[in-house]
Structure 1
Amino acid sequence: MVFNSCEAFDNPVSYFYNRTGKPISPNWRTHDFVVVGLGLPICVFIILANMLVIAAIIVNRKFHFPIYYLLGNMAAADLFAGISYSYLVFHTGPWTINLTIKEWFVRGALINMSLTASVVNLLAVAVERHQTIFTMQLHTTMTRWRVVMLIVTIWVVAVVMGLVPTMGWNCVCDQLGCSTVAPLYSRSFLVFWAILNLMAFFIMVAVYTHIFIYVRRRSQVMSPHTDQPSNNQTVISLMKTMSMILGAFVICWTPGLVILLLDGLKCIECHVLKYEKYCLVLAECNSLVNPIIYSFRDEDMRTTYKRILCFPWRRMRPHEGPSGIRFEPVKTGAPPEKNSQNSSSPEAAPPQSPLS
């Protein structure tokens, strides 16, 4: 890591906190106990839930499709977020006094990397769903090489965003521009980071809105020509998924982004320090909500989870029943239950993506 060489780097971390109006108390305060008490259980659930998602995708060959690779990568990002936040929890409050400037930047870099990777993964999944739905396919035609390159790009962006303050965009040598929430970060960087995430949010809103409008129009055109309810079910399922994705993102991220913007704009009357720790915990909850929205809604995922948790010694059966809503009418024939339990043909339908 590259640091500036000004004399201010010889000062302790507490110097910058006291200078920006965020003094560090050597004693544990109420909100310190609240942050640690809420943060540790959330971290445990985040790590366990995302480990389960990754394990399910690895052991079940039916999930070896681009959408599930992206889902697994998002779970890895959220897993990293849980680990990063665990590190933050054990280096916050009175423990911050003992940190060196380099250790403080490492703590901040881990959080920036993990949260950025999670957001960019959400955006990548939204773009992938847009491509598959508009081509009326179950899975994208994207090759594995392109998926790997996309995943590598996501992590490169996350690493760069995490290291930008460490590489020089900080206020250690320009203390007049120091942030209050993060006393060693420049206000300009916080504004930049918040606006970048808000842009990702608006892009996701536009993508899912476009998907919903397209599917609704297509359902209205096809409804007079078919008696099957698959189109209406598709619209309802898509509406629920889109609402859950956007709702979770807004609830978890908006408060934190607003706090960063207000602090970056130097809003003294906003009392950002009163809410910043709780907003950070709420933003981290998005890494716990993601596996619930993207994975737990899929029947095949749930079946795989049960086998991993309850019957780890049993060999995974190669075929499970189809799940989710399809865009094309389902052909009549044998009952779905019979097909799902007794089918051993290699032509059995692959699982529907949890995002459709």
Structure 2
Amino acid sequence: MIHSLAAAMSSHLPNASSSSSSPSSSSSSLGGTWILPDGRNSSLVRSGADLRPLAPVSPWDVALCVTGTLISCENALVLAALFYAPSLRAPTFILIGSLAVADLLAGLGLVLNFISIYALDTELATLASVGLLIAAFSASVLNILAITVDRYLSLYNALTYNTERTLTFTYAMLALIWLVCVALGLLPALGWNCLADEARCSVCRPVTKNNAVALAVTFLLVFALIMQLYLQICKIAFRHAQQIAVQQHHFAAISTTKGVSTLSAILCTFAACWMPFAMYSIVADSSYPTIYTYATVLPATCNSVINPIIYAFRNPDIQKSLWLACCGCIPTNFSLRPRTSSDV
């Protein structure tokens, strides 16, 4: 999704290989050895067909590559914790694991994107990295929607939530999500790209402008659905609090307020990360300065850094699994508190 932005930035820089030469300053090459004006020679630079000027490395691309590495490490840790504890097989943890897989692929896609820009630089590498990024980030957003649906159902159908029917519904929902995302990731390789017509490119080459707008509008619809579900979750939580006995009313009010604050923080974080890039993809095209694309893409990728913290590391069961996996023990002051809808 972010491929070849550095090439656009570097096109405004002076080309070292086309610098002017004069009899007093030029140098000639012979058999791979450069002969300098004073008679000295150097073999540090390849000659002939092997000579290729190195493109300047954009600090934005370095930041994206570092972010991708951090995303990969975080989500690999989440997956290790889930696999280490066989007890974490409830629908909630299956969804968290699917989100971790999506974010892990997104991190690997960012690293592959950096390699394809500065090392491979082929059409195949471009399409592969872009397809992986589209599929992974789409899966990440849709898995967040699935987790929100799971939270809503765990409150709305509390009595029938922990049944085989819920597990079947979870697997069916994940199968649909990944099928859709894989199909989206394959679109650039199937010809839905602007490699043959640069004028059709969006802010993220080689994704076309029309495809970028379609993806951005779909994201806005998903975000609206997530927001509506969270509003319903808050209503149910307040209704449950009102049904608690009078002697526990104060505790219930504090717990409900904390839960609503947590859900609001999750929603605001998600919007702050993705909304700038979604809106920019709708209004901008390839003629816009690439600095704006980088400035909106980087926060969107940071959402995959935050996801493990919000949905995994805060969960007491996953915390226990991590302690057992890393240290082989559990701290004496560690206690499993009752799980609520805001825990996962």
Residue 296 of structure 2, aligned match among 264, 267, 279: 279
Q: Is 1:132 paired with 2:154?
A: yes
| 1:114 matches 2:136 | yes
- TM-score w.r.t. length of structure 2: 0.76
Q: Does 1:152 align with 2:214?
A: no
Question: How far apart in 2 are the matches of 1:39 and 1:171?
Answer: 23
Per-residue displacement from partner, 1:262-306 (whole Å, max 9, x unpaired)?
225x8x6xx441221232222111111111011222223222212
1:49 maps to a residue whose letter is E
CA distance in 2, matches of 1:354, 1:139: 16
TM-score when scaled to structure 1? 0.74
Corresponding position: 1:35 with 2:61: yes
Aligned ranges for residues 172-211 of structure 1 at < 5 Å? 172-179=195-202, 181-211=203-233
Structure 2 unaligned residues grouped into runs of 5+: 14-52
Q: What does 1:140-289 correspond to in 2, within 5 Å? A: 140-141=162-163, 142-179=165-202, 181-219=203-241, 221-223=242-244, 225-264=246-285, 271-289=288-306
133-142 or 197-206, which deviates more: 133-142
Q: Is residue 40–residue 86 contact of structure 1 (8 Å, CA) maintained in 2?
A: yes
Q: Distance in 2 between matches of 1:261 and 1:27?
A: 33
Structure 1 unaligned runs (5+)? 1-12, 327-351
Residue 69 (structure 1) aligned with residue 91 (structure 2): no
Letter in 1 for 2:308: P
Q: CA RMSD in A?
A: 3.0
SS at match of 2:158: coil
Deviation at 1:72, TM superposition (A): 0.7
- Report the CA distance between 1:75 and its aligned residue: 0.7
Pair 1:310-2:311 in alignment: no
Deviation at 1:224, TM superposition (A): 6.2
Counterpart among 37, 60, 85 of residue 85 in structure 2: 60
Output the CA distance in 1 between the equivalents of 2:111 and 2:160. Answer: 38
SS at match of 2:87: helix
- The residue type equivalent to 1:256 in the other structure is F
- Partner amino acid, structure 1, of 2:67: I
Equivalent-residue separation in structure 1 for 2:88 and 2:211 (angstroms): 39
Q: Which runs of 4+ in 1 moved over 6 A?
A: none
With over 3 angstroms needed to count, the CA separation of the structure-2 counterparts of 1:132 and 1:296, relative to structure 1, is same
Deviations for 1:3-32, whole angstroms, at most 9, x for unmatched residues? xxxxxxxxxx99xx77xx9848666557x1
Q: Percent identity?
A: 25
Partner secondary structure for residue 289 of structure 1? helix
For 2:228 and 2:276, the matched residues in 1 are separated by: 21
The answer to whether the 8 Å contact 1:117/1:154 transfers is yes
CA distance in 2 between counterparts of 1:138 and 1:56 reads 27
CA–CA distance in structure 2, aligned partners of residues 110 and 258 of structure 1 = 22
Residues 51/173 of structure 1: CA separation in 2 closer, same or farther (3 Å cut): closer
Deviation at 1:183, TM superposition (A): 3.6
Shift of 1:89: 2.0
**Residue 124 of structure 1: CA displacement?**
0.4
CA 1:149–1:211 in 2, change beyond 3 Å: closer, same or farther?
Answer: same
Tell whether the 8 Å contact from 2:113 to 2:126 is kept in structure 1 after alignment: no
The superposition leaves residues 320-352 of structure 1 with CA deviations (integer Å, 9 ceiling, x where unpaired) of: 9532455xxxxxxxxxxxxxxxxxxxxxxxxx8
Which structure has the larger Rg over C-alpha atoms?
Answer: 2
Quote the Cα distance in structure 1 between the aligned partners of 2:233 and 2:169.
23
Which is worse superposed, 104-113 or 53-62?
A: 53-62
Secondary structure at the counterpart of residue 354 of structure 1? coil
Instruction: Tell me how far apart the structure 2 counterparts of residues 135 and 233 of structure 1 sit (CA, whole Å).
Output: 23
> Is 1:299 aligned to residue 285 of structure 2?
no
Contact (CA 8 Å) 1:74, 1:118: kept in 2 or not? Answer: yes
Contact 1:44/1:82, CA 8 A, preserved across alignment: yes
When residues 288 and 140 of structure 1 are mapped into structure 2, their CA distance, relative to the original with a 3 A threshold, is: farther
CA contact (8 A) 1:191 1:261 kept: yes
How far 1:154 moved relative to its partner? 1.5
Q: Is the 8 A contact 1:51 1:79 kept in 2?
A: yes
Q: 2:123 aligns with which of 101, 120, 131?
A: 101
Measured in 2, the distance between the counterparts of 1:154 and 1:86 equals 24
